[in-house]
Amino acid sequence: MWRKTAMVLALAATGAGCMTAEDRRAADEAKCRSYGFLRKNDAFAECLQRIDLARRADLRSASAFDPWDRPVIYRSIIIRARPK
C-alpha cells in the first residue's frame, strides 16, 4: 500500500513541477522497484542509471529545439544608379 502512495505522491510532485532531487530519486527508485529490481544490487543501479541518462537525453533534445532557428533565405537585389 505504501508503494502506491509513494508513486501517487511522486507523480503529483512531477505534475506540479516542484520536485526536489530527493523526490526525484525516490520516484526513480520506486519505478525501478516496480520493475522488480531489488535495492543494493547491480541491476537496480543500472535501472537508476538508465532513467538518469534518459532524463538527460530528453533535456538535451528539448534544449536543442528552437523554432526560430531557421536558415535565412534571401535573394540579393542589385540597385543601379540611373544615368543622368
pLDDT at 76 (0 to 100): 79
Q: Pick from 79, 78, 21: which is nearest to 13 by CA? A: 21
Average predicted confidence (pLDDT) for the chain: 81
Query: Which grid cell is 20?
Result: 526536489
What is the pTM assigned to this prediction?
0.56
State how far the alpha carbon of 23 is from the alpha carbons of 17, 19, 74, 80, in Å.
Answer: 11, 6, 50, 68
Query: Which grid cell is 1?
Result: 500500500
Provide the pLDDT confidence category of residue 14 given band limits of 50, 70 and 90: low
* Domains of the chain by residue range: 2-64
Residues 6 or more apart from 44 whose CB is under 8 A from it?
32, 37, 38
pLDDT tens digits, one per residue of 63-79: 666 666 667 677 778 88
pLDDT at 84 (0 to 100): 75
pLDDT at 83 (0 to 100): 81
Name which residue leads in pLDDT, 25 or 12: 25
